[in-house]
């Protein structure tokens, strides 16, 4: 994990301001049902993780100490087992009723080898009868085309800096399909500017299906949105829901 957007406290301070939750959080809170144990891989600052911990045994894992520092201090964080660990190699030696990897965290794995390793980790932590869910943006939707400065420019209310200007820029490598995107935050009052460069992969649904089969996972449903619509090539999301094969 070498992405400043997640490991540098100067940038992590903006994360929750830009990720307040939405349809994905609402869906997961309904989907969790009567699951008694949950593993949240790539939990980030732990907002969803802490919500899930009400009456459940919940573990949140993330490779970025700066994100976990925020997670431990949030309301409800004391009820979560926080683990610094990489979803490609994490092995906790126990199973969970639900394993999730949301917030498009799967896309930080840039190679098929790393993607398969993350799927192996999901399989390794599923208890008998347990299920998994994760999300990845559909490459056919080409969402990165809307990540240019003009389309992405926005204003964020920061509790210390006041109004902060934010924008992105992005370019796709045609050969690999990997998108490199820059995130900028500028404080107009004093001219401070924070910047991070990130890289994410956009695996196709067909390749994801093949890798999950190789990892011993079976998909029961493919969704194309967090509103619950079935996957179709023109949908923005790829959301598999399944279990061990």
Are 55 and 72 in a shared domain? yes
Are 211 and 237 in a shared domain? yes
CB atoms within 10 A of CB 54: 10
Task: Look at the chain and count its residues.
Answer: 245
Q: For helices 112-124 and 205-214, give the axis angle rounded to 10 degrees.
A: 50
Are 22 and 65 in a shared domain? yes
Nearest CA among 50, 66, 47 for reference residue 58? 50
Are 103 and 208 in a shared domain? yes
Give the count of domains, the chain.
Answer: 2
Are 110 and 220 in a shared domain? yes
pLDDT, tens digit (0-9, with 9 covering 90-100), for 13-66: 888 888 877 899 999 999 999 999 999 999 999 999 999 999 999 999 999 999
Are 216 and 192 in a shared domain? no
Are 130 and 182 in a shared domain? no
Q: Mean pLDDT, the chain, as a whole number?
A: 95
The alpha carbon of 5 is separated from its chain's Cα centroid by a whole number of angstroms, namely 13
Domain with residue 55: its CATH number is 3.40.50.150
> What three-state secondary structure class fits 49?
helix
Are 102 and 207 in a shared domain? yes
Are 178 and 219 in a shared domain? no
| H-state helical runs in the chain | 4-7, 9-12, 15-18, 23-31, 47-52, 65-73, 112-124, 149-152, 205-214
Are 66 and 180 in a shared domain? no
pLDDT, tens digit (0-9, with 9 covering 90-100), for 96-152: 999 999 999 999 999 999 999 999 999 999 999 999 999 999 999 999 999 999 999
Are 146 and 120 in a shared domain? no
What percentage of the chain has pLDDT greater than the value 90? Answer: 87
The whole-number pLDDT of residue 158 equals 92
Range of the domain at 147: 140-200
User: What is the β-pairing status of strands 237-244 and 217-223?
Assistant: antiparallel
User: Could you tell me if 239 and 135 are in contact, meaning their C-beta atoms sit under 8 angstroms apart?
Assistant: yes
What percentage of the chain has pLDDT greater than the value 70? Answer: 100
Are 112 and 181 in a shared domain? no
């Amino acid at each position: 994990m070498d992405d400043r957007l997640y490991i540098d406290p100067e940038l992590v301070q903006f994360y929750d301001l830009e990720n307040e939750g939405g349809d994905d959080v609402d869906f997961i809170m309904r989907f969790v049902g009567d699951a008694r144990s949950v593993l949240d891989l790539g939990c980030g600052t732990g907002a969803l993780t802490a919500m899930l911990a009400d009456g459940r045994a919940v573990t949140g894992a993330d490779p970025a100490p700066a994100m976990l520092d925020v997670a431990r201090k949030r309301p409800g964080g004391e009820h979560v087992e926080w683990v610094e660990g990489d979803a490609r190699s994490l092995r906790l030696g126990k199973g969970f009723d639900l394993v999730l990897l949301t917030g498009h965290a799967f896309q930080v794995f840039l190679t098929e080898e790393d993607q398969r390793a993350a799927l192996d980790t999901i399989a390794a932590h599923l208890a008998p009868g347990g299920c998994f869910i994760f999300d990845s943006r559909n490459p056919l939707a080409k969402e990165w085309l809307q990540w240019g400065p003009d389309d992405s420019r926005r204003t964020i209310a920061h509790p210390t800096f006041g109004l902060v200007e934010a924008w992105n820029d992005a370019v796709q490598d045609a050969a690999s399909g990997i998108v490199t995107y820059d995130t900028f935050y500028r404080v107009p009052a004093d001219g401070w500017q924070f910047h991070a460069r990130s890289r994410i992969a956009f695996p196709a649904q067909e390749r994801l299906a093949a890798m999950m089969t190789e990892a011993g996972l079976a998909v029961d449903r493919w969704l194309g949105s967090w509103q619950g619509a079935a996957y179709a090539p023109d949908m923005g999301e790829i959301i598999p829901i399944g279990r061990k094969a």
